[in-house]
Amino acid sequence: MDNYKKIIEEIYLDVKNVDDIGKVANYIPELAHIDENNFGVHLTSINKLSFGFGDCNKKFSIQSVSKILSLTLAYKFEGAKLWDRVDVEPSGNPFNSLLQLEADFGKPRNPFINAGAIVICDVLVSHLKNPKKDFLEFCREISDNKNINYNEKVAESEKISGFRNVALCNFIKSFGNIKNDVDDVLDFYFHICSIEMTCKELSEIFLFLADEQYINKKGESILTESQAKRINAIMLTCGFYDESGEFAFRVGLPGKSGVGGGIVAIHPDEYCITVWSPKLNKKGNSYKGMLFLEKFTTKTVSSIF
């Protein structure tokens, strides 16, 4: 991995100049204001390599990338019982589809589509005394980073325009797979989506998925090794909505994208890398982010396959 820094810098400069055919997500009004030229990348390895380029220290809305964090905490609480509530299969459909939910009687296909992430939030609301506060605490302790916060404006903006998510949550509740009050679950869900972090912070917080020995500052492990591997598996098969196969095919790493333009990817036993570029391709994943990561794993021959 000694030459990774040089390779990453080269690819960064190369992709920076590529004509970006993506578009900034506009369905969450507050997100549409972002400067679309932001472009950052950061890598943190399990043996303490750490470097980044471009806008890697700017905060951005991590959106669905946060679904890994909520899943992690719910998995800690529930263990394997969690999979009675949500499946681990790729959906083959766009991220906010209700189609399969109807066929599967309210059990979402996986925890990374919106339906599944909402069920995960419901699980957490059942376990946490002060869901929003406690969840933030959990995130901060993973990588000893006090500097992780919700963006209330973004959360509010999602709430105002989030009719599809309100529909999803009520639809699942009609099948009995939401136990708490719909408003409470969604308020929590919208807040989790609004978390802001930098590329550097993201590549640090998800090291626990790359490093089987990972412990936080308090000396606690986050998940068991088997659990961490299983989350990686779900990221690989389901992390990019109906483009998950394409990401596995082109990049070959477990990963997760968000409509804020961030992508986190994990190489088990080696590193976590984060890219951020706000313009999205048609499937809702960062155009330059995917391009960067494809070039990166190709040049370093470091896909998991």
Annotated ligand binding at 259? The verdict is yes
70 binds its own copies (CB under 8 A): no
- Compare residues 197 and 228 and give the one whose CB is closer to its own copies: 228
User: Which residues pair with residue 77 across a beta bridge?
Assistant: none
Are 165 and 121 a contacting pair, CB within 8 Å?
A: no
Name residues contacting its own copies, limited to 222-251 (CB under 8 A). 225-226, 228-230, 232-234, 236-238, 242-246, 248-249
Residue 112, phi then psi, degrees to nearest 5: -105, -15
Q: Please name the amino acid found at residue 43.
A: L
E-only strand ranges, the chain: 23-24, 40-45, 50-54, 60-61, 196-197, 255-257, 262-267, 271-276, 279-280
Query: 6 or 103: whose CB is closer to its own copies?
Result: 103
Q: Which stretch binds its own copies (CB under 8 A): 65-73, 87-95, 131-139, 149-157?
A: 87-95
Separation CA 280–CA 39 (nearest Å): 12
User: Binding residue for its own copies (CB under 8 A) from 7, 171, 299, 300?
Assistant: 171
Active site residue 107: no
Instruction: Verify whether residue 132 is a known catalytic residue.
Output: no
Choosing from 45, 61, 64, 286, the catalytic residue is 64
- The response to whether 165 counts as a known ligand-binding position is yes
Angle at 101 between CA 206 and CA 193, to 5 degrees: 35
Amino acid at 218: K
* H and E: helices and strands count for the chain: 13, 9
Instruction: Please identify, using beta-carbon distances, which residue of 107 and 173 lies nearer to its own copies.
Output: 173
Site string for its own copies, 173-212 (x = CB under 8 A): xx-------x------------------------------
Q: Where are the beta strands (DSSP E) in 119-253?
A: 196-197
Q: Torsions phi, psi of 162, nearest 5? A: -95, 45
Using CA atoms, how far apart are residues 289 and 32, in angstroms rounded to an integer? 18
**Contact (CB, 8 A) for 241 and 113:** yes
Task: Looking at residues 104 to 163 of the shown chain, list those that interact with its own copies (rule: CB under 8 A).
Answer: 109-110, 163
* Three-state DSSP state, 290: helix
Task: Let me know if 244 is a catalytic residue.
Answer: no
Size of the site for its own copies (CB under 8 A): 51
Interacting residue ranges for its own copies, rule: CB under 8 A:
87-93, 97-100, 102, 109-110, 163-164, 166-171, 173-174, 182, 225-226, 228-230, 232-234, 236-238, 242-246, 248-249, 252, 254, 268, 298, 301, 303-305
Detail the residues annotated as belonging to a binding site. Answer: 64, 114, 158, 165, 189, 241, 259
Active site residues: 64, 67, 189, 241, 259
Detail the residues annotated as belonging to a binding site for substrate. Answer: 64, 114, 158, 165, 189, 241, 259
